[in-house]
Amino acid sequence: MMIEDEEVDLVLNDLFEIYGYDFTNYARASLKRRINRLFTLDRFPSFAEFRYRLKSDADYLKHVVEGLTVTVTEMFRDPLFYKTLRTEVVPTLSAKPFIRIWHAGCATGEEVYSMAILLKEANLLHKSLLYATDLNPEALEKARRGIFPMAQMKLYSENYIESGGKQDFSSYYTAQYGQVKFEDKLAEKMIFSTHNLVSDRSFNEFDLVLCRNVLIYFDKDLQDRTLRLFDESIGKLGYLALGSKETLNFSTIKPKYKQLNKEKIWRKIS
């Protein structure tokens, strides 16, 4: 059994009317797939029962929000992107008295810890602040703890080296019971907070905004709205970094930005 388009509309309407979560401008094909995935995994006998549970059980809502939002991420994901950050972006920030960075849609925080490591190695972490936001409170709680599965560390270590890292990657964490905990020094400069890109506003001015593999889940209108929100939040000569298959090409802010060589990093030029 499949949930059809009209039923997806009903679910989206309930989420908004009852709980204030607005998913209506999410890219419909992947949203429909995720709703169907939840419906199948949770073994509902009918759509009506799924809908009733969602409307009447606030705990189940949490599970639905988690299920609809994608939290797949990794440290130093796309190592060449991090290499460009390391060699071309971070050095241009070094003269600033303060460095403000926003990870929008940070999920479980792997990229925030990666950024903190880059800044530490450039001797800039002490004067940086990393704002990390997501609409999913459960994911943020994981990010705040800085505890990740040991099984991922081989990949992360390889990514780190490919991104130009010269230290022993394992010196950044302590391992215990199949988990690793990243050192508290890295997290000291992180501020975690819920923020919904659909409904919340700009809250500061940043030198660098990273939002990678979040816009792919939005339709073109919401992408453009979000990019304008980023534009309002990026200071003069600041940077915007997107995921490897995302682009500014469809957006009204494009003329104000210049892309850095091949990576998905743009600098605000006007």
Partner 1 sequence: MAENKLKTPCKAVVIGGSAGSIEVLLKLLPALPSVLSFTVIIVVHRKNSAESSLANLLSLKTAVPIQEVEDKDAVLPGSMYLAPADYHLLIEKQGVFSLDNSEKVNYSRPSLDVTFESAADVYGPAMVGILLSGANADGTAGLKAVKNAGGVIVAQKPETAMSGFMPQQAILNTPIDFILDVNELIEFVRSLNTAS
- Which is closer to partner 1, CB of 124 or CB of 216? 216
Structure tokens at 123: 């001797």
CB count, 10 Å around CB of 202? 16
Q: Which amino acid is at 260?
A: L
CB of 246 to partner 1, least distance (A): 5
CB of 129 to partner 1, least distance (A): 28
Q: Per-residue string for binding with partner 1, 199-238, x by CB under 8 A?
A: --------------x-xxx-xx--x---------------
Inter-residue contact 238 to 128 (CB < 8 Å): no
Q: Is 30 in the site for partner 1 (CB under 8 A)?
A: yes
Distance in angstroms (rounded) separating the CA atoms of residues 86 and 81 = 9
CB of 132 to partner 1, least distance (A): 19
Structure tokens at 121: 């190695």
Question: Residue 19: in which H helix or E strand, if any?
Answer: helix 5-19
Q: How many residues bind partner 1 (CB under 8 A)?
A: 25
Structure tokens at 11: 């679910």
Q: Is 95 in the site for partner 1 (CB under 8 A)?
A: no
Stretch that binds partner 1, among 31-39, 52-60, 181-189, 193-201 (CB under 8 A): 31-39
Give ∠ CA 149-151-154 in degrees, rounded to 5: 120
Which three-class secondary structure state does DSSP give residue 134?
Answer: strand
- Which is closer to partner 1, CB of 143 or CB of 248? 248
Residues that bind partner 1 (CB under 8 A): 27-30, 32-34, 70, 72, 78-80, 213, 215-217, 219-220, 223, 243-247, 250
